[in-house]
Amino acid sequence: MTAQSMAKTAYSTSKQASFRNPRSIEYDLFAQITARLKSAAEGGTTNFPSLASALHDNRKLWTAMAVDVAQDGNALPGTLRARIFYLAEFTRLHTSKVLSRSDTVDALIEVNTAIMRGLDDGRQTA
């Protein structure tokens, strides 16, 4: 690869990244983690380590969302902030049930998918 082609590649990657809006980034995170949750769940009990890892990352994502909506400077409407915070708490509690094998991951996948639909609407208009 020549220096010129490397420069073009670096510039185009940087240029693409600068145009991504926060909703697009959030959507991608949810999509990646949800795909991992689905894949791990399909693997059955033999795939429990992968499921635990995906659940951990999902819980981290939802914790970050809860922290964000709890900030005074968050621009989302109060009712939406409260709903997101509630879903983060639901995710935390339901994850514990899945890890103790007393429930399935299905509800978490449904919640994430619903959030992705909402974020996708915003990505289209942003």
Segments of the chain with pLDDT less than 50: 5-8, 10-14, 126
Distance from C-alpha of 84 to C-alpha of 116, rounded to nearest angstrom: 13
The model's pTM = 0.79
Say what the pLDDT of residue 64 is.
95
- CB contact set of 116 (below 8 Å; sequence gap of 6+): 27, 30, 31, 34
Distance from C-alpha of 39 to C-alpha of 4, rounded to nearest angstrom: 40
- CB contact set of 84 (below 8 Å; sequence gap of 6+): 65, 66, 69, 76
Say what the pLDDT of residue 6 is.
46
What six digits make up the tokens of 29?
């995170």
Distance from C-alpha of 102 to C-alpha of 95, rounded to nearest angstrom: 10
Distance from C-alpha of 61 to C-alpha of 59, rounded to nearest angstrom: 5
